[in-house]
Amino acid sequence: MNKILTPEEEIYILKRLNYYKSYGINLWADGEKLKFRSEQKLSPEMRDELMNDKELLLGFFLSETEREADYFSLTPIQSAYITGCQKDYELGGTNAHYYVEYEIEDIDIACMQKAINRSICDNDALRLVVCGDGRQRVLKSTPEYLLELNEVTGEEGIMAEREKWSHHIYHLGEWPMFHFGVTKKAGNTYILHFSFDCIIMDAWSAKMLLDRIFSLYRGENVPKLDYSFEKYMRQFSANERCDEKAEKYWDSRIDDMPECPVLDYKCNFSDVGEIRYKRLMYRFSAEDTVKLYDRLKKIYITPSVFMCTIFLKVMSHYSSKKDITIDLTLFNRMPFDKEVNETLGDFTNIGFASYHAADETFMQELQKVSAQFWKLLEFHDYDGTKVLKKLGRRLPGKALMPIVFTSTLQGFVKEQRPLGFREVYAISQTPQTAIDHQLRDDTGALSLSWDYITELFDEEYINKIFEAYIALTKKVMFADSWDQIISTVEGGEG
């Protein structure tokens, strides 16, 4: 008779399977017997471990047939994350990951833990088990998530916790692929740590998750959705089609698409060892943000197009090749259900924006980038990873588009974080990405950040480019007219 595993036992076995795999041990069930194949002779200690796990392993394997219908396919981006994190790819060997810290004066641990567990129960993306074979499934139930509390003295303790989780690599096939923790500083100040693998959730979803957790923490009503990520993915798989018009558009773009910016890197991509990222940040004033948004509305240009155009100009200026292309992060939810925009999950797609250096007014440059964004909107359901695959046929394993532009701008200014929680630190990492440019305006003003691989850039050099970007943005924002050529400001001066 098959042993029915408890949620705790299932989570334990998922971790143990990865553990045995790391030692080259392949396990399976043959009838009621546990079988294994090992790359080397098992030590007595390893045999003892297998014997201790035997009953649970057999229970897991013998119920696999019943779980078969629970699996569903990955999104193209989820698959790309798995491929890109392999060490034989340039700038690989890492996962897509985000980490953020919030500071708060006093925190109710029990209340926060309750809010987190309610969110895990209500959102199937938080119960995902993502497998390396191109499938994923949702755990029907999970053990109660326990919110860790660490007390530290001095900044060293906070830095140790940050070091532990800021570049954490979650293992495929295990649960959870996120982490919440609390650190108590001196006095009554606390840090809420949140880390997650982007393979389960994109940036928009993470923002919604935190908003819901904070609302639950305050005792507000947060209704559970009827729709889910699994339902979306099953509909997505059933509705996949070939858009010939989109295919034709991208094939024509590929023919003359410039390469990525060629910056002054300290070393070749293939020579980078451990992938570590550092963040550069800047926040414009709320007043300047409102003025810019109002100005853009009058000419029907979005803030994302505006910032992307300036970013392209700066990248072109510092690139040895002036005609360039960058990767754009897109958030694409097919309208399968009325609740799809509130559903958590990874709905990421990618697109591309090119810049051809020419003596043109800034308005002309804006219009050219805007036209590319409109095409992205027209073909929003086209799988952008297909373009990367076509570009990479001649250069397998290369990081072809390592400069990424990500925007979560809403186009209006409104402080959306709850009172009491103040974001104090954040960092992201993405496979095969040298610089990830991120835009947001949910903190009351236009804010931007660059997460860059430290081993690739001289610190003075990357700061110089970043300062030039800020300087050019200000120069354009305050220019009387955009019907003129506006050149990049060298080194952030001016």
How much is the average pLDDT of 80-105? 92
pLDDT tens per residue, range 27-51 = 999 988 999 999 899 999 999 999 9
Bridge partners, residue 303, by sequence:
none
H/E segment holding residue 34: strand 33-38
Which phi and psi angles does 218 have, rounded to 5°? -80, 0
pLDDT at 476 over 60: yes
Going by C-alpha positions, the residue among 101, 111, 107, 113 that lies closest to residue 188 is 107
Instruction: Note the CATH number of domain 242-417+431-492.
Output: 3.30.559.30
- Residue that has been written with the tokens 């803030």 in this structure: 303
Bridge partners, residue 54, by sequence:
none
Look at residue 339 in the predicted model and tell me its pLDDT. Answer: 98
The DSSP code for 488 is P
Count the residues in the chain: 494
Which phi and psi angles does 229 have, rounded to 5°? -65, -40
Residues 232-268 as b/e (b if ≥16 CB within 10 A, e otherwise) read bbeebeeeeeeeeebeeebeeeeeebbebbebebeee
- Cβ atoms < 10 Å from Cβ of 186: 11
Residues 281-303 as b/e (b if ≥16 CB within 10 A, e otherwise) read eeebebeebeebbeebeeeebbb
How many CA atoms lie within 13 Å of 267's alpha carbon, on the beta-carbon side?
Answer: 11
Find out whether 322 and 357 touch, Cβ atoms under 8 Å.
yes
Cα–Cα distance, 429 to 174 (Å, whole number):
20
Give the Å distances, CA to CA, from 424 to 10, 109, 300, 427.
Answer: 36, 19, 34, 11
- Residue that has been written with the tokens 């990421």 in this structure: 348
Look at residue 490 in the predicted model and tell me its pLDDT. Answer: 64
Look at residue 289 in the predicted model and tell me its pLDDT. Answer: 96
pLDDT at 493 over 80: no
- Cβ atoms < 10 Å from Cβ of 187: 8
Question: In terms of C-beta density within 10 A (0-12 exposed, 13-18 middle, 19 or more buried), how is residue 478 classed?
Answer: exposed
Q: Percent of the chain having pLDDT more than 70?
A: 97
Enumerate the domain spans of the chain: 7-69, 242-417+431-492
How much is the average pLDDT of 83-93? 88
pLDDT tens per residue, range 176-209 = 999 999 999 878 899 999 999 999 999 999 999 9
Amino acid at 453: I
Cα–Cα distance, 219 to 206 (Å, whole number):
20
Structure tokens at 468: 């030039």
How much is the average pLDDT of 123-138? 96
- Cβ atoms < 10 Å from Cβ of 55: 13
pLDDT at 412 over 80: no
Give the Å distances, CA to CA, from 291 to 231, 284, 288, 295.
Answer: 42, 11, 5, 6
- Whether domain 7-69 has CATH 1.10.3470: the reply is no
How much is the average pLDDT of 264-281? 95
Using pLDDT thresholds of 50, 70 and 90, give the confidence band for residue 242. Answer: confident
Q: What is the mean pLDDT of the chain?
A: 93
DSSP state string for 375-444:
HHHHTTTS-THHHHHHHTTSSTT--S--EEEEE---SS--B-SPTT-EEEEEEEE-TT-SEEEEEE-TBS
Using pLDDT thresholds of 50, 70 and 90, give the confidence band for residue 491. Answer: low
- In this predicted model, which residue has the larger pLDDT, 46 or 157? 46
Look at residue 213 in the predicted model and tell me its pLDDT. Answer: 97
Cα–Cα distance, 415 to 183 (Å, whole number):
25
pLDDT tens per residue, range 294-306 = 999 999 999 999 9
Question: In terms of C-beta density within 10 A (0-12 exposed, 13-18 middle, 19 or more buried), how is residue 13 classed?
Answer: middle
- Residue that has been written with the tokens 């895990």 in this structure: 120
Using pLDDT thresholds of 50, 70 and 90, give the confidence band for residue 419. Answer: low
151-155, 180-184, 256-260, 397-401 — which is least confidently predicted?
A: 151-155
pLDDT tens per residue, range 314-333 = 999 999 999 999 999 999 89
pLDDT at 63 over 80: yes
pLDDT at 165 over 70: yes
Bridge partners, residue 453, by sequence:
277
Find out whether 14 and 174 touch, Cβ atoms under 8 Å.
yes
Cα–Cα distance, 366 to 206 (Å, whole number):
30
The DSSP code for 460 is H
Look at residue 494 in the predicted model and tell me its pLDDT. Answer: 38
Which phi and psi angles does 437 have, rounded to 5°? -85, 125
Question: In terms of C-beta density within 10 A (0-12 exposed, 13-18 middle, 19 or more buried), how is residue 35 classed?
Answer: exposed
- Residue that has been written with the tokens 């928009």 in this structure: 204
Structure tokens at 196: 């997650």
Find out whether 127 and 236 touch, Cβ atoms under 8 Å.
no
Find out whether 275 and 453 touch, Cβ atoms under 8 Å.
yes
Using pLDDT thresholds of 50, 70 and 90, give the confidence band for residue 352. Answer: very high
Sign (positive/negative) of CA torsion 213, 219, 220, 221? positive
pLDDT at 416 over 70: no
